[in-house]
Amino acid sequence: MIDYYLLSRFEPSLTDKLGLFVQAEFVNGFTTDTEKKNTFVQRIRIGLKTMSWQYGIGSDFTESEND
Model confidence band, residue 37 (pLDDT cutoffs 50, 70, 90): confident
Does the pLDDT of residue 21 top 80, yes or no? yes
Q: Give this prediction's pTM.
A: 0.73
Does the pLDDT of residue 66 top 70, yes or no? no
- The total of structural domains in the chain comes to 1
Does the pLDDT of residue 17 top 60, yes or no? yes
Percent of all residues in the chain with a pLDDT value above 90, rounded to a whole number: 69
The range of the structural domain enclosing residue 11 comes to 2-65
Which residues are CB-contacts of 26 (< 8 A; sequence separation ≥ 6)?
Answer: 4, 5, 6, 7, 40, 41, 42, 43
